[in-house]
Structure 1
Amino acid sequence: MGTTPPPTRPRRSRRRRDARTALAFLAPSGLGFAMFTLGPIVASVVIAFFAWPVIGERSFTGLTNFVTIFTTDPIFWQSVGNTLIFVAWYVPLNFVLALGLAVWISPRIRGRGFYRLMFFLPTVTPIVANALVWRLLLQPDGIGHEIAALFGVAQFNPLGSESSAMAVVVAMSVWQGFGYNMLVFSAGLDAIPEQLYEAAALDGATAVHRFIRITVPMLSPSIFFATVMTLITAFQVFAQPYVLTGGGPGVATTTVVMYLYQRGFELFDLGTASAVATVLFLLIAMITAVQFVGQRKWVHYE
């Protein structure tokens, strides 16, 4: 029996040529990532260790900015609490609405494409424009006030109440963002073989059991992807509370990114703002890493 001959020189040359071609196509994207994503992240981490006013002398201060936000600025902890409340409400509501509608828009329903379009439309419309419309509807002299007056509600100002302002921000964010996850779940549902449901039905499994035993495990890759992306987006919430409430009333809807914006672009303290950005980046990275480690136990890939 003869042995397999080593790769010929033309084959090695072709591989090198293919590698150079691939690098040429990847270079623009890699350059953009380095300039507009990786570079600013590194710069922000470096600035976090400096006293860095927009105008004036800059000096190295070590961990002073981190100590300041953790020990002497109560607004930072208030913003962290507000962000966690937003995440705790937004993510489950987004998932329940998105998954429920994805299941409802089954391949058998008439007008499936129309429903998909209508539910996804808010996702692709500008978030600032959507927030402005919600603010016009819910402000004291808006249409919402007129509708509430018809039902005998004299004082209708949900954006001006600490007990309801965050609820409005969450509701607007869910309305804006659930369509993306709905499409992700809908695509995942389409990939589940119909034979699995038919076999389970023949074995006497109810609709609830089929959903728990077949739909959820087979949809777990889509659920994992949506969980990671939705959590990252939720922790970075900014435009909705900024436009709807300006972080108020008081600081009731001030999120971490809003606090970062205020420190950097209103108080012009770029060092402290960069420290906040670094803490937020590490928090999101830690949560994402935990999700990737934990997904080995519950995500089922075919």
Structure 2
Amino acid sequence: MTTQSSSTPPVSLANPQPPHALAGSQRETVVAWLFLAPALIVLGIFVLYPIAYLFYLSFTAGNFTRAGTHWIGLRNYWRLVVTPDFWQVLGNTAYFTIATVVPSLVIPLGLAVGLNRAFAIRGALRTAYFIPSITSLVAVGLGFRWLFQTDGPVNALLKTVGIEPIPWLGSTVWAMPVLILLSIWKQLGFNMVVFLAGLQAIPVSRYEAAELDGAGSWQQFWHVTLPGLRPTLVFATVTTAIFTLRSFEQPYVMTGGGPLNSTNLLVFYIYNQAFALFDFGYAAAAATVLLAVTLILVYVQLQISREEN
């Protein structure tokens, strides 16, 4: 008797997902994209598109008073290279940024360390130091302009101690330090709060261990506080530098970029090129340089944060 053998299909060693599980995963992906869509649309319209259009505009010439624009390639960037005023503005911006960022980190850090301890009026002092960071920069600029005008309160105070009045805002030497002082005062409260948050995240056990090892207050600051604040310091440095690089209100309200271009900062320079001279392509090229510097700062922050993790 002949027996017909039936062929048995090979058993797969893999464990494929059931069809309903795969459908559920695809459904979750679709739902996730639906929830992300509004944010992505806003990001594309208000961030990505303006950046792309800025980059395109930097390769064109023309303005809104003429019939459109035309492509000129890298000429706007070459104009930046050969224009002395642009290099002076870059120098002003570098000086302004460095002279603002360093005190805007050191002073708030000292205040945060002092105000991190418990004493009677700690809350009132924290509030008082934070108030400048929530005030209007235009209003503060007008106030500083009144304080430092030739016949203002600062010169009146100097006169009482026998010092001749100084033309603060009309001097190529003193005008920039006044703008720097304003920016430091404006940024002080925000950085103080950031450092306070960082200090409170450092475990108390580290200070107790350091104290048991015989470390004094200064040694605890260098070997416990500063290492514990490293991510906070990176964040505060980058945000303060970006805030300083995009400074516009200070020269606009107080000096108009003068005297003799000595307080002309990069954002104010871009504004004048675009909306006073209507040279939008050249202004876009300068703005692209500013964007590149900002992206470099953000990249550095991300790299350092990645190393910390």
For the criterion TM > 0.5, the same-fold answer is yes
Which structure 1 residue ranges, 5 or more long, are not aligned? none
Partner of 2:5: none
Contact conserved, 1:54 with 1:268, CA < 8 A, in 2? yes
Identity within the alignment, %: 38
Partner of 1:130: 140
Q: CA deviation at 1:295?
A: 5.2
Contact conserved, 1:197 with 1:214, CA < 8 A, in 2? yes
1:118 aligned to 123, 128, 151, which one? 128
Q: In structure 2, how many angstroms separate the alpha carbons of the residues matched to 1:178 and 1:4?
A: 61
1:249 aligned to 252, 256, 259, which one? 259
Q: In structure 2, how many angstroms separate the alpha carbons of the residues matched to 1:117 and 1:174?
A: 17
Instruction: Work out the number of aligned pairs and report it.
Output: 296
1:53 aligned to 52, 55, 63, which one? 63
Q: In structure 2, how many angstroms separate the alpha carbons of the residues matched to 1:113 and 1:30?
A: 40
Partner of 2:190: 180
TM-score normalized with structure 1 length: 0.90
2:156 aligned to 146, 168, 172, which one? 146
Q: CA deviation at 1:11?
A: 5.9
2:81 aligned to 70, 73, 81, which one? 70
TM-score normalized with structure 2 length: 0.88
Moved more, 154-163 or 195-204: 154-163
Q: CA deviation at 1:241?
A: 1.8
Partner of 2:49: 39
Q: In structure 1, how many angstroms separate the alpha carbons of the residues matched to 2:22 and 2:195?
A: 43
**CA, structure 1 residues 161+18, in 2 after alignment: closer, same or farther (shift >3 Å)?**
same
1:266 aligned to 276, 280, 285, which one? 276
**CA, structure 1 residues 273+17, in 2 after alignment: closer, same or farther (shift >3 Å)?**
same
Contact conserved, 2:90 with 2:265, CA < 8 A, in 1? yes
CA deviation digits over 1:133-158, x for unaligned, max 9? Answer: 11111112322232222222332321
- What are the residue-to-residue correspondences of 1:1-302 with 2, within 5 Å? 19-57=29-67, 58-71=69-82, 73-294=83-304, 300-301=308-309
Q: CA deviation at 1:239?
A: 1.1
Which of these two proteins has the greater Rg computed from alpha carbons?
2
**CA, structure 1 residues 223+13, in 2 after alignment: closer, same or farther (shift >3 Å)?**
farther
**CA, structure 1 residues 68+124, in 2 after alignment: closer, same or farther (shift >3 Å)?**
same
Contact conserved, 1:54 with 1:269, CA < 8 A, in 2? no
Q: In structure 2, how many angstroms separate the alpha carbons of the residues matched to 1:249 and 1:217?
A: 43
Contact conserved, 2:76 with 2:282, CA < 8 A, in 1? yes
Contact conserved, 2:133 with 2:189, CA < 8 A, in 1? yes
Q: CA RMSD, aligned part only?
A: 2.2
**CA, structure 1 residues 60+150, in 2 after alignment: closer, same or farther (shift >3 Å)?**
same
